[in-house]
Every structure is written in C-alpha cells, then in structure tokens.
Structure 1
Amino acid sequence: MATVILVRHGRTIANADGLLAGRSAGVRLDDVGRGQAARVAERLSVVPLVGVVSSPLERCRQTARMILEQQAGALARPIEKDITECDYGQWQGRTLSELATEDLWSVVQTQPSAAVFPGGESLAAMQARSVAAIRRHDARFEAEHGPGAVWAAVSHGDIIKSILADALGMHLDLFQRISVGPASVSIVRYGASRPEMLATNSGSGDLSWLRAAPAATDDAPVGGGAGPGPSEASGS
C-alpha cells in the first residue's frame, strides 16, 4: 500500500493578517512561511518520495518547490486542481473577525456538511473532490512504484482536514475537531480494508521511519503491534 504525506503550505501574509485568502491570486508565503516550508522540506529530505502533487495556488507551489529541491532525482510533480483551496465565494478576501459575525459562521463551525458559501462551493463538495483526487493519485503511485511508494501532496488547511476526516471515518460535521497547522505533516496509508492514520499535524521530528517497507498484511495488529524497528524508533 502506498503512503501519502499531506503537507499544508507555509504561513502567508493573509494568514498572519487574519484574512480568508481562498483562491485569491498573488498570495505568497511570508518570511515565517518560507522558513516553515524550508524546515518541512528538510524533514522530508530523508524520505525518498516518488512524487509531489500540489494545489495550483502559489503558496502551495512555493512549498512544493522547496520539498522537490531537497529530493534526489527527477520526480513526478503534477498540479492537481481538485486539491486547490475551497471556493469560499463572497467570503473570500474578508477578515475572519468580520466573517465570525455572519449567520453562516456557526454552521461552518457546528454543521459543516450543511455549509454552502455564497457564490462558492459547499464543504461537502470540497471534501468529495479532494478525497477522490488523493485516492486517485495514491492508486497511480502504487501501481507505478509498488506498495512501498511514499508521495507528498501539498494543499490547504480545510482540504487536508476533510481528507483526514474521511480517512478516520469521521462525519464531515466533526472535521473542525482536527487541527492542521502551516507546514504541518499528516500521513495516511490507504489499504484494501481501511486507511491507516500514521500521523496528524506533525510539526517536528524525524521521518526516516517512512523508509521502512510497509507491513505485508492489511490487517491491524491486535494490541497495537511493535511499531517501527530500532533504527526508526525516533520517528514521530
């Protein structure tokens, strides 16, 4: 089974200013975000990735480029529109403090499956397209590189939260319980029986344990199993 590393882009000026950037053009990493992207690229440098898939938005492509610069050889580097940011419609470009006064805000917080952004898309549609895209790329990388393939997808906070909720079997109405910080790493291994969550919202730590071959069985170890071997024991 292949393994996907879900990477959120580094911090942007819009993030720092409390703006909902959405799909606005020209939103780039700020100085803090570039440092965060450099650190996540360094963390991933010990993992031989077979590809890096990115949202088309500039902040994700910047982060993806830094990751690719730390990898050996030429890798697949597709741009995937279906993991782009949610279409927030008329909410795009407004401050979060202003949006918090809207009636829709409480729906987004407590019943996101019912949230439809005015002039934009629903959170349910966002989840459906992003999950389908991740599973499609995962199957392709496994078919091309074998079950030990590890690849990265660089995307956005709500996109990654919705993918993790699906992997955990959580209803979309619970996805606000998941945190995904800038330049964080979350790791999912899709199997024939179920997805396996290996990490969520990880901001530091050694990832060299991902070089180990996946278990031959798709069954979960009863009792929790032995975990990584001694050489990977420091992984997070």
Structure 2
Amino acid sequence: MTTLILLRHGRTTANASGVLAGWTPGVRLDESGEAQVRAVAERLTGVPLAAVVSSPLERCQQTAGAVVEGRELELQTDDRFGEARYGDWTGRPIKELAKDPLWKVVQQHPSAAVFPGPEGEGLAQTQARAVAAVREWNAKLGPDAVWLACSHGDVIKAVLADAFGMHLDSFQRIVVDPASISVVTYTDTRPFVARVNDTGGDVSALIPPKKKRGRRKPSSDAVVGGGAGSAPA
C-alpha cells in the first residue's frame, strides 16, 4: 500500500488579504504561514518519507523545503501539483470574484467551470493532471512507500474527491486549511482516505511497521464494522 500525505502550503500574504493568487509569482508565506510550516515539519519529523514532491510555486517550495530540511532527500518539483490556472481571475480580490456569474458555477457545478482567458483551465483539467501525477509517483515509489506532495487547496480537494469516489461537483464540501495534512493510502483495489484537514493530530500511525518475516500482505479490503483502528502508541 502506497501512502500519500497531501500537505497544503502555509498561509500566504494573498490568503491574508483575500486575493486569488493562482500562479502569480512572488507570493510567499506570511509570518503566520512560516510558523505553521515549522510546526507541521516538526510533526512529520519521525515519518520516513520516500519522496517530497512540490508544486513549483514559491509558497509550496517554502513549505516543502521545511519538511525536507534535515532529511537525506532532494526536494522534487512537479508542475502537475501546481495551483489551478485561474486565468483572468488571477490576482483579483475574492469579494470581487464572488459577483462574477462564473462564481456560482465554481460553487455549484465545478466540473463545468473553465476559468477565463488564454491561461485559464477547467477544474476538471486540474483534477485530471493532479490525479495522474499521484498515480505516476505511486507507481514510481512502490507499494511500501510513504511520500508527501505539497500543493494547493483546490488541487488537494480535487485529489481527495477522486480518492473518495466523489464527483468533482461535490469537492467544495471538502475543507483543506493552510498547512493541513490529508492522507490517502492506495491499494490494488481502492484508495482509503485516512485523514482530511488534519492540523494538529498525532502522526505516529503514518510510520510503517517494521517488516517481519512471514508477515501477511496488507489487505485492500475494507474492514466491516470499522475495525479497531490503529494500535495506541
């Protein structure tokens, strides 16, 4: 089973000012975001990561860089984890965009939403590229890997919707806060969503158990009745 930790970048100056940053260059973490990133990096210190992969945008590079620090890992960059391409919406205040007719489509029928302008893409395209990246990295890293992808709110929500088996039109029901982690375990049969929007929980369950000779291969079946959960530390 391949375990993916989805980490949203910490709070940025654009988040704080209510502006849709998109692919605007130079958008970095604010003081609160820097503190969030230090805290999440500390939380994940004991989790052995096979890879840390990031969106190319500065806010994610800063966040993922904090996680990589002190590890014998090189930060990998994959454009497919980059922010949704909001086109002509990029850089505009959220309160202004909320008056645009497209806003209702984004809220109620996001699979049909295509952002305006030559640089704009559809949210369905955003989901397709991000999910393709996840599956490619899963295959590359192998079934025993725990790895982390640092990305953006809408991108992470789209990946989680796919893992839940939800239609993209329901992805606005998912909340992904700055510097939160969400966890998906991918098996031969299906993904299991283990965490969503976790901003402070214990992460010891993400540490793979030591391999024992003769140990049974983990099942991809769901536990009827819910099971007993992780053993206490």
TM-score, normalised to structure 1, is 0.93
State the alpha-carbon separation in 2 of the partners of residues 165 and 55 from structure 1.
19
State the alpha-carbon separation in 2 of the partners of residues 20 and 159 from structure 1.
14
State the alpha-carbon separation in 2 of the partners of residues 217 and 26 from structure 1.
45
Residue pairs, 1:74-223, within 5 angstroms: 74-119=72-117, 120-142=120-142, 147-213=143-209, 216-223=218-225
1:68-100, CA deviations, whole angstroms, 9 ceiling, x for partnerless residues?
Answer: 1153xx224210001100110000000000000
Q: Deviation above 3 Å: which 4+ runs of structure 1?
A: 212-215
Contact 2:54 2:151 in 1 (8 A): yes
Structure-1 residue corresponding to 2:214: none
Contact 1:3 1:149 in 2 (8 A): yes
Structure-1 residue corresponding to 2:65: 65
Consecutive unaligned residues in structure 1, runs of 5 or more: 232-236
1:30 aligns with 2:30: yes
**Shift in CA distance, 60/116, structure 1 to aligned 2, threshold 3 Å:** same
State the alpha-carbon separation in 1 of the partners of residues 223 and 77 from structure 2.
36
| Amino acid of the structure 1 residue aligned with 2:108 | T
The CA deviation at 1:42 is: 0.7
Total equivalences in the alignment? 225
Contact 1:127 1:163 in 2 (8 A): yes
TM-score, normalised to structure 2, is 0.94
1:37-71, CA deviations, whole angstroms, 9 ceiling, x for partnerless residues?
Answer: 11110111110111100000000000011001153
Contact 2:9 2:37 in 1 (8 A): yes
1:104-157, CA deviations, whole angstroms, 9 ceiling, x for partnerless residues?
Answer: 000000000010000100000010001100111112111xxxx33111000000
Contact 1:42 1:70 in 2 (8 A): no
State the alpha-carbon separation in 2 of the partners of residues 138 and 76 from structure 1.
17
